[in-house]
Amino acid sequence: MNKTFWQDLPTPIIGLAPMDGYSDSAFRRICKEVNPNIVTVTEFTSADGLHFSAEKLKRKLYFHPSEQPVIAQIFGKNVETFVTATKVCEDMGFSGIDLNMGCPSKKVVKSEHGVALRKNPDLACQLVEAVANATNLPISVKTRLGWSNGDDLVDFGKRVQNAGANMICIHARTYMEPYKVAPQYEQVYALKDALSIPVIGNGGIESLEDGQRYCSRLDGFYIGQATFGNPWIFVGEKPRYLKDRLPVILNHAQYLIEHKGDRVGTREIRKHLLCYVKGVHGAKPYKKFLSTVESFEQIKTIMTEIADVEFQFYSQRELVTV
C-alpha cells in the first residue's frame, strides 16, 4: 500500500462514515455488498488500548476480506501509543489509518481526545507526523470545522498536510454546534482550495444526491447516520418492498451473530432491525419482538412475517386501484 492511495481512488470517493456502535464489520460488509466501490472505516478504537492490550481490542478492529479497502480509525493523544497502534493496524492488513480528531463525545473530549485535539494543533500534528513516519500506509484525519468556529480550518489543514496526512475528512459542523444545525460547507470548500491532498465532506448527507450537491467541489463524501436501516443509500434507492430487502437484512444479522456470538450479536442487531422496519406498513406490532430477539431464527421468522404483511397490504391496494 502506498501513500497515494487516496489520490488514486476514482472520484467522487464515497464512504461509510465511522460511527461507534454502528460501523462494525457486519454493517461494513453489508454496505459493501450493496455497493462494492465504497470505502469503509472502522469504529474508532483507542490507541492506548491497542498499546497496552492489543489482543483484546483487535476484536473491535476485526474486518472481513470483502470489506477492503477498509481503514482503521484510532483515537488518543499519546505519540508512543499511536505508533504502537499503527503497527498493530498495519500487521492486521488495513488499507490505511485514520486519526480521529472529530469525536464530540463528552467522555472523549474530557480526556482531550477527538475534537479536543483541535484546541491543540501542535499535538495533533505531532500525532500525524509520528504515524506517517511509522508506516507506509496512507494516513487520513477526520475532524470538524473547529471547536466553536471554523476560522482556523485552513491553517489546521495545511499543518496536518505538511505533517504527513494524505487525506482529510471534515464534518461540516463545529464541536459547539448540535447535529440539528445545518452543515456549513463553505469553509470546507476553502480548505479544498488550499490543499493538494484530497478533502472529503461529511455531515447532513441524507442521500447520494445530497453528497453530490454538498461535495461537488470536494473529492468525495462519507455518509453517516442516514445509512441506519438503509445501506441501499449507496446505490441511490432501496427496493420498494421489505421482502426484497430481506436477504441483505438477514445477511447483516448472520454476519453479526457469526462474529460476536448469539448473545452479543442478537442484542446488537436489535437497533438495526428497528431501523430496517421504520416506516414499513404493519411493522408496529412487531417492534417489541424485534427489540428482544435472541436467535437468528427468531429474526428470520419475525422479519419474514412483517414483509408478508406489508406485501399483502400493497398487493390488495393495487388490486383495488386496478
Chain Cα centroid distance, residue 149: 24
Q: What is the pLDDT, as a whole number, of residue 322? A: 42
Q: Are 213 and 193 in contact (CB under 8 A)?
A: no
Euclidean distance between CA atoms 82 and 44, whole angstroms: 13
Rg (alpha carbons) of the chain, rounded to whole number:
20
Per-residue exposure over 118-149, b if at least 16 CB sit within 10 Å of its own CB, e if not: beebeebbebbbbbbebbebbbbbbbbbbbee
* Residue matched to cell numbers 386496478: 322
Q: What is the pLDDT, as a whole number, of residue 284? A: 95
Q: What is the pLDDT, as a whole number, of residue 104? A: 83
Per-residue pLDDT of the chain (322 residues; tens, 9 = 90+): 578 999 999 999 999 999 999 999 999 999 999 999 999 999 999 999 998 887 878 888 999 999 999 999 999 999 999 999 999 999 999 999 999 999 888 888 888 899 999 999 999 999 999 999 999 999 999 999 999 999 999 999 999 999 999 999 999 999 988 677 889 999 999 999 999 999 999 999 999 999 999 999 999 999 999 999 999 999 998 999 999 999 999 999 999 999 999 999 999 999 999 999 999 999 999 999 999 999 999 999 999 999 999 999 988 876 555 4
**187 phi and psi angles, rounded to 5 deg:** -70, -25
Q: Are 200 and 222 in contact (CB under 8 A)?
A: yes
pTM for the structure as a whole: 0.93
Burial class (CB within 10 angstroms; exposed 0-12, middle 13-18, buried 19+) of 246: middle
Residues contacting 286, CB < 8 A, separation 6+: 277, 302, 305, 306
- What domains, with CATH codes, occur in the chain? 5-235 (3.20.20.70), 242-321 (1.10.1200.80)
SS (H, E, C) the chain: CCCCHHHHCCCCEEEECCCCCCCCHHHHHHHHHHCCCCEEECCCEEHHHHHHCHHHHHHHHCCCHHHCCEEEEEECCCHHHHHHHHHHHHHHCCCEEEEEECCCCHHHHHCCCHHHHHHCHHHHHHHHHHHHHHCCCCEEEEEECCCCCCCCHHHHHHHHHHHCCCEEEEECCCCCCCCCCCCCCHHHHHHHHHCCCCEEEECCCCCHHHHHHHCCCCCEEEECHHHCCCHHHHHCCCCCCHHHHHHHHHHHHHHHHHHHHHHHHHHHHHHHHHHHCCCCCCCHHHHHHHCCCCCHHHHHHHHHHHHHHHHHHHHHHHHHHC
Q: What is the pLDDT, as a whole number, of residue 86? A: 95
Q: What is the pLDDT, as a whole number, of residue 289? A: 95
